[in-house]
Structure formats: C-alpha cells, structure tokens
Structure 1
Amino acid sequence: MILPAITPRFAALGEPYSTAIPARPLPAPSLLHVNAALADQLGLSPSIASPEFIALMAGNTAWPGYESRASVYAGHQFGQFVPQLGDGRALLIAEIDDRNGQPQEVQLKGAGPTPYSRHADGRAVLRSSIREYLCSEAMHGLGIPTTRALALVGSPQPVRRETVETAAVVCRVAPSFLRFGHFEFWYYRGETERLKPLADLLIDQHFPEFTGKPDRHALWLTEVVRRTAVLMAHWQAVGFCHGVMNTDNFSALGLTIDYGPFGFLDAFDSHHICNHSDDSGRYAWDRQPVIGHWNATKLLQACLPLLADEPKAAVERAQPIADSYPDAYGKAMLKQWTAKLGLREVRDGDETLINGWLNLMQSSRADFTRSWRHLSRVKANEDGPAHGLRDEILDLVALDAWIPDYRSRLRAEQSEDAERAVRMNAVNPKYVLRNHLAQRSIERAEAGDLSEVATLFELLQRPFDEQPAFEAYAAEPPPEARMIEVSCSS
C-alpha cells in the first residue's frame, strides 16, 4: 500500500504541545464503511479495500514515517474553566497534502488511551462513531464547514458506557484540529511564549495572506471571529444543535468539530436542548449564537499576549475584534434567512417578515426542515391559503395573516415562482440527519446490518435533491421517536 507522503507541521512543534504515543491495537477490526470520494481526494483510493488500509484505520499499524500523537489543550466546559483536557481518545496519525496540495490532518477517534484520557479507556463505541461518521459528512453535504469522516471501523471488543457496547474507530480529517482550548491551555498556565508558535503555524498554513505581517495575529483572530459568527448562522439556518459548545470543541479554523450530543430540529422549539446533560439549557438552539460570541471572547483573552506586550494595549486591540462578532453574525444570519425565504436582496421590513415566519413555526411546533422546504411552493400572485403549508402550520389564522405579506414582498422584487423555487430548494434541505434516522441505522448496525448506514451516507451527500426513492426519509419522526435523548456518551 502506497500512502501520501508525510509533511509534519503540528508534529514539528514537538513536546510539550503533543505527546507521541502509539494507538492501542483493535482486535478483529472490520471496515464498516469508507468515504471513497474523500479517500480519492487524499490520494488513498487504490488501497481502501486492502487489509493494510483496514489495519491503518483501526490503529493497528502506523502511518509510515509518522509517530501518532495526542495534543494537550484546556477549555471552558459549560462555562467553567478546566485547566487540562486534551486528546483523550483521539490520535493524530498523519499530516499530508491532498491532491490539491492542501494540508490535511488525519486523526483516529477511539484508538485507545492517551496521557490526556483522565483514567478513561480511550475507546469509542459503535453508536457514537456512527453518529459522528454520518453527521460530519451530512454537514459537508449541506455546505457547512466541518471536519470530515474517512472511514468507520468496528470491532467485537466490549466497551462499557451506560451498558456494554462494542468498540469502533472513526478516522476523521481536517486541515487542522487546533481548537480554542489549545491557546487557553498555555495562556492560563502562564506560558504565553508558547502561543506564538501555535498561531504562526495556523497562519502560515491556512492564512498565508497574513504571514510575515506585523499585525498577523490580529488579522487571524479577526478572521476566526468572523468565521465563527458565520458558522453559527449556518447552524441556525439548518436547525443544527451542537450540544457541547465548550471552547475545547471550537475550531481555530471555524469548522464544526466534535460530534457528540447533537441533533437537527424536528418540531420547531427555539429553546430546544439536544443534550440531556445540559440541565441549564446553556447550549439550546437559540443560545448558540450568543455562546459562539462568548467562546470567541475566550479565544481573544487567551491570545492577548499576541496582540501587545502591555495588557492594557492588548485589551484595546482585542475589544474591537470581539465587537465585530455581532455585526458579522447579524449579516450572515440575515443573508441565510432571506435566501431561505427566496428573497434576492435584503430590504427594510424583512426582519419583521422573518420573525413572523419563525414565530409561526414556533407556535405550531411545525417541522423545521419540512416547513422551510414547503415555502418554495407558495405562488406570489395567488390569493387565498397556501395549501402545502397548511399541512405543517397548525395556527392557520396566523398563517393566513402572514402569507399576504410574504406574497407582497415577493411581488415587490418581481419574483418568478419557478426560478425562486429552484433557489429556495438549493438552500432549504429536504433531508437532514434526524435523530430517529441515525438511531435506526445504529440499531441495525449493532445487529450486523450496515445497509442503513450506507443508505444514509449516500442520501445525505445530496440533501437538497428530491431523491423520490427516499421520500420516507424526509417525513417527520414517528411519535415514538420524537423523544430520543442524546448525551455526552453519544
């Protein structure tokens, strides 16, 4: 098996940023699914069916020329600072360039204990591994910045969580797995001289336009804050709930990272909490934009020594960067909502129209994904009720009051129905990874049937397409599946 050449970048920083440690071999590994398109992008496609590839994805063999390693970081978890976390069950097994010459890091999740496992076993279970594998690629299909999933490997090895389950490993890929927490670790330890090598590594590899500039760190932080704001708008627009928005789960590149307890909204409740461990609702859907801002301020605080030598001057430079978040988020979110409504431009009064629609969905507990999709059927020049929407919205009086304003707004920009429907269906997905769909694939996989994992994987590559053969996957969850709960072990 010929693998892409190693190009150490993060590994070149050495200790104490990370610790070299081998993966713990996984007994009797089997390849449950592989992302052939991503494998080809990485230059791996000829070897993805080989025993050598399976051994590599299981952590049973090392990538030639690279010592696998776990990195150390800190983080604010549910608002409380934890001074040392780190890759407790993740190992960086390679740093390569893809076919386009872009840097990529290859990481195994569930490959055994590391120095940062905090007495845990370092393993992942099949249940959580399927969820991460499917959702990271579902988000990619939605056009949302995310880490990617390359391969899913299973094993009969027992692993105890709430019950005894079987082990699995997800191979995930990203341009960088550096998080806000990597910078927090060194800042709170008082070893602020360690911040610059981390920041310059990111800048040189991923923001080369800033390399060498005296204010490169301020430029990078400004861009990360902007990307974080835009990412939050992406999440809100598709009804995605992260569940554990700790600073150690926020990417320094603005990617969606760490799919633990997550979910897509079914019946719309703006206060929906997807993680049953989140007792206070800190990470509810409507709180996500605020938490994104809060997390960005924690990154800025950790990077104050990069902005100026004097603390007061550093704060003065950081404040406008922090203050840029609300405007960046507001513009990104307004752009998302107006596109989902089929509007070509933003006009005065659009926020009232948007809020009216969201309130309609909220009061009716309408299905988030289906309701947005049905809007494309509204005719601008018709009078009377919007028949498709009347199957989704229970408050028909309020719906019939809102629809004329919507039609009037469409006519104001001379919207043409067929063309607008195409645009709306390109931003309002028909298919998302609903919890009950993921759960069904998990239950079948646990019984030895991987067909549903494969079906969902293919379906979610094209979430905006009709795909008539899979119409049932766009349905609301059945009543018995509407209360599926996920936790941090998910």
Structure 2
Amino acid sequence: MKPSDPQGWKLQHSYAELPEGLFTRVTPSPVRAPKLVMFNRPLAEALGLNADVLAGEEGAAIFAGNQLPEGAEPLAQAYAGHQFGYFTKLGDGRAVLLGEQLAPDGTRIDIQLKGAGRTPYSRGGDGRAALGPMLREYIISEAMHGLGIPTTRSLAVTATGEPVIRETTLPGAVLTRTAASHLRVGTFQYAAAYGGKDEVQALADYALRRHYPEGLTQEAPYLYLLKAVAERQAALIARWMLAGFIHGVMNTDNMAISGETIDYGPCAFLDTYRPDTVFSSIDRQGRYAYGNQPYIAGWNVARLAEALLPLLHEHEEEGVRLAEEVLHAFSPQYEARWLEGMRAKLGLFGAEAEDEALAKDLLALMAEQQADYTGTFRALTLRQQERLPMSGTEAFAAWESRWRARRERQHADDEAAAQLMRRSNPAVIPRNHRVEEALEAAEREDYSVLHRLLAALADPYAYTPEQEALAEPPAPSSCAYRTYCGT
C-alpha cells in the first residue's frame, strides 16, 4: 500500500476513455450527517482497501459522497432501456461511478455510490435513496453471493442524516456498490439510438476488453460478444430459477453485460412455489413473474442483438441471420443449465432421458400442494419427506418411487448424492418476512437482527443450528407480500 494512500485506493478510469456522449462528469452531493451503518469488511479487504481506516469516520465521509477517495474522477453513466416493454432514455439518475478499483488479484471493480444526489439523468428526481431499499440491496446481494450466484455486491451503507420524501418521509442513505462493471444492455441501446455505429463499436470493443478478452482474437468478435453475453445470461437466469429468486424488474437497463445480477429493487425469494408469483408493486401485468424470467432474459438479449446488428456483418440480412442463430440457441442453453442444476438439487449424477420429467413433475406437485420451494428441497436433502405437505399422497409416493429408482441406477452411492444435494440446496435464504424484520429493526437503529441474518446467509449451505429458525417459512397470511422499488 502506498504511503500516500493509507485507505488503499487504486482507482483507474477506463470507462471515461469512451466517447463523451456515454457519460457526464458529476460530483456527489454532500449530506448533512454521514454515519456508516453497514460495512463489508471481507469485501473491502478483497478489494485491497484498508478496512480498519474505512470502517470509521473517513469511510463514512467517502461512502456518503462528502469526500472523494484518492484518485476518484466521478461520473454518471448514460444508458437507455426497455422498461416494462417501452423504450426510454435513462442514465444514472442517482448514482455516481467513482472509478474502477484495481484489486490485489488484478481484477477491475467498479465503485459506485447509489443515492449520491442529482445528475443530468435524474429526470426530475431528487437523486437520493432511502435507508430501507439500500439495506435490502445489501442483504439480497450478499445472500446471492453466498449462494454462488454472480452478483454485484454491497461494500457499505451510509445513513445521511437527511429525510427522503417518497409516499412518506423516510431516512436517507447511500449504498456503495461494487460490480465487474455497470455496462448494461441499455448502455448499448443508448449508443445505438443516440450515437451511431462508431459509438456502438467503441462500447463493444470496451466490453470485449473488459469482460471477454478472448473474443478480441476471434474472426467475428462482435458475434462472439453477443454469444458470450447470451450464454452468461442463460446460466444466470437458470441460477435464479433454481434458487427461487425473483428479480422483479428485468428491464434491459437492469441486465448487465458481465452476467452479474444487478439492481436489486423489488426483488424477493419464493416461499410457496407458484410460477406466476409477482412481488413487485409496479408489475401489475406480471411481465416479470418468476416463471417469465427465462423468456424475458431472451427478449432482452434480442434487444442487445438489435443494437449490435451493424457490427455483426456488413450486409444487414446476414447480420440478422447470425443474430437469430444466437437467439434461437438461448432457450436450449437455459434449459440445459436449469436441468443440470435440478439434477444436482435431486442428487442425480449423469443424465437420463426422464430426468426433466422427474424434476418438472415434482414442481407440478409442489404447485398443486402449495409447497414451500426452498423448504421442499431442504426436506429432501435432510431425508425429511414426511414433513412435506404432499407427503402421504399417492402422487408423491409415485414420484418418490421414480426418484429412488433413478438414484439406484446411478454409480454414485447415497452419501455422494446427499453431499451433492447439500451443496445445491440452501438451508436458508433471505426469507421475505425475515428481511422485513431486519429492515424494521434497522429503522429503529437496531442492526443486530440484520447482522444475525447476514451471518446465516454468508454460508447458506452450512446447515447449522443457527440457520434452523431462519429456514422456516412465514405463517399463512391473507395479505400478499409486496415489494417496492424505492426509487
């Protein structure tokens, strides 16, 4: 660590080398009384930062936007997006990119302040964020990291000491988010709509250098980029579905080119298994329902293909044909990833023709019996089938007989199958009612509930006694659970 930089910052600014139309230089707006309420020490250390220094007042000043870290050159990124199917000009309306931290392992990680004040892209908004939604992103993003699902992460949450006016008056906060990058499908849409081929090509070259450098030596690098993004998204959405995660607002501006989960707004996890489940208060038509997520991901990849079309081939018809090949492959890629994960959840090695039917028949039983999604696989993992709501039914007995026969045919023994299931089925997820308990306590400045929850979610496959109570589903309620964007 350089003596001139005791905090450990090693910021660079490769994004700022792109055409100026893709960003605007801005400065975070200071807040009244910054107070660090959450600090991710392990993440800070992995980034090469001095956690001991940043855990105090110096960190609070930086993570609130009152003081710039050494080497920062803040900017707000421009992008567009299809929001619930309608194209809109957007941009970082309340986020400021401080720079890219060079971690000790050589990776380049964006450091972004979310809720840092107005920017030219605020569209009349105040550029601020409320404490509850920022803590929700901290909880869910760290839970996703624990589950092994690619995700942006949360470095800190800083209370501002200022109110935020939404439907009611709420305490304000700034989230410090880290990401492989903040390049989105919507970034390419913006370049295509408001720039031109040169801007799209500059952006595509940058994406290749940063995320897919092996594509630079390909004969068709931009087709390689499209294929690579599609493959990562197919894998990512399969992981979401296997974990019972609902993003809630899969607009194209919320789809990262890196393949990370980004922008945790009205997100939540399934309790009762129902493919049509929607938690988001703004998704009134169910566009982003749990069961629709694979389709929407493919739709979003198609929007990326449209933006890249001029780069795919000099003749438009041939470019369209190449793009269509990629798009037609998306659904099979997703299905293969999902089935691979479902085999692991059921303790199955190898592949047999009936595996897909075995998995989908179980899901049909779960939907019919209104079974808890995570709880069902947890019970199967612990061999506690008698606790399941469908236990004792003829349909489940028939399914269980097929499952046992399938496992008896494989070469792996029961212990190997049990270990595979334990690695694939979490003992605990951020249950919606537990998240709400933690957020309600935090509003009273009691963070002990949140810390206990985060400790359990850090290793969700541990199956510890401490995770037992947090694994229980909520009590039945006549009120549907709702989440809100917090924007």
Provide the residue aligned with 1:81 in structure 2.
Answer: 87
Q: Which amino acid aligns with 2:221?
A: R
Shift of 1:333: 0.8
Deviations 1:323-374 (A, max 9, x none): 2211211110110111111001110111111111101111011110010111
Aligned pair partner of 2:462 in 452, 459, 465: 465
User: What aligned pairs does 1:228-267 form with structure 2 within 5 A after superposition?
Assistant: 228-267=233-272
Q: Which amino acid aligns with 2:85?
A: G
**Secondary structure of the residue that 1:282 maps to in structure 2?**
coil
User: What aligned pairs does 1:3-402 form with structure 2 within 5 A after superposition?
Assistant: 3-13=8-18, 15-44=20-49, 45-82=51-88, 84-189=89-194, 191-378=196-383, 388-393=385-390, 396-402=393-399
Q: Distance in 2 between matches of 1:371 and 1:389?
A: 11
Provide the residue aligned with 1:486 in structure 2.
Answer: 483
**Secondary structure of the residue that 1:225 maps to in structure 2?**
helix
**Secondary structure of the residue that 2:12 maps to in structure 1?**
coil
Q: Which amino acid aligns with 2:305?
A: L
* 8 A contact 1:370–1:392 mirrored in 2: no
Shift of 1:284: 0.6
Q: Which amino acid aligns with 1:306?
A: L
Give the aligned length.
481
* 8 A contact 2:133–2:485 mirrored in 1: no
* 8 A contact 2:154–2:176 mirrored in 1: yes
Q: Distance in 2 between matches of 1:308 and 1:322?
A: 16
* 8 A contact 1:243–1:260 mirrored in 2: yes
* 8 A contact 1:277–1:487 mirrored in 2: yes
Unaligned runs of 5+ in 2: 1-5
Q: Which amino acid aligns with 2:84?
A: F
**Secondary structure of the residue that 1:455 maps to in structure 2?**
helix
* 8 A contact 2:114–2:129 mirrored in 1: yes
TM-score by length of 2: 0.96
- Please identify, of 148-157 and 334-343, the stretch whose mean Cα deviation from structure 2 is larger: 148-157
Aligned pair partner of 1:436 in 422, 433, 437: 433
CA distance 1:412–1:55, change in 2 (3 Å): same
Q: Distance in 1 between matches of 2:222 and 2:112?
A: 27
Q: Distance in 2 between matches of 1:388 and 1:81?
A: 47
CA distance 1:153–1:418, change in 2 (3 Å): same
Deviations 1:74-112 (A, max 9, x none): 111111111x10111111012121110111110011111
Provide the residue aligned with 1:383 in structure 2.
Answer: none
**Secondary structure of the residue that 1:278 maps to in structure 2?**
coil
Deviations 1:259-301 (A, max 9, x none): 0001100011111012121111111111000011010001011
Shift of 1:6: 2.0
Q: Which amino acid aligns with 2:365?
A: L
CA distance 1:362–1:339, change in 2 (3 Å): same
TM-score by length of 1: 0.95
Matched, 1:453 2:450: yes
Q: Distance in 1 between matches of 2:478 and 2:112?
A: 33
Provide the residue aligned with 2:3 in structure 1.
Answer: none
Task: Write out the 4+ residue segments of structure 1 that deviate beyond 4 Å after TM superposition.
Answer: none
* 8 A contact 2:235–2:337 mirrored in 1: yes
Shift of 1:48: 2.3
Provide the residue aligned with 1:474 in structure 2.
Answer: 471
* 8 A contact 1:199–1:217 mirrored in 2: yes
* 8 A contact 2:250–2:288 mirrored in 1: yes
Provide the residue aligned with 1:406 in structure 2.
Answer: 403
* 8 A contact 1:63–1:94 mirrored in 2: no
**Secondary structure of the residue that 1:296 maps to in structure 2?**
helix
Q: Which amino acid aligns with 1:70?
A: A
Q: Distance in 2 between matches of 1:222 and 1:354?
A: 28
Q: Distance in 2 between matches of 1:27 and 1:430?
A: 41
Provide the residue aligned with 1:382 in structure 2.
Answer: none
| Percent identity for Structure 1 against Structure 2 | 39
Q: Distance in 1 between matches of 2:345 and 2:8?
A: 42
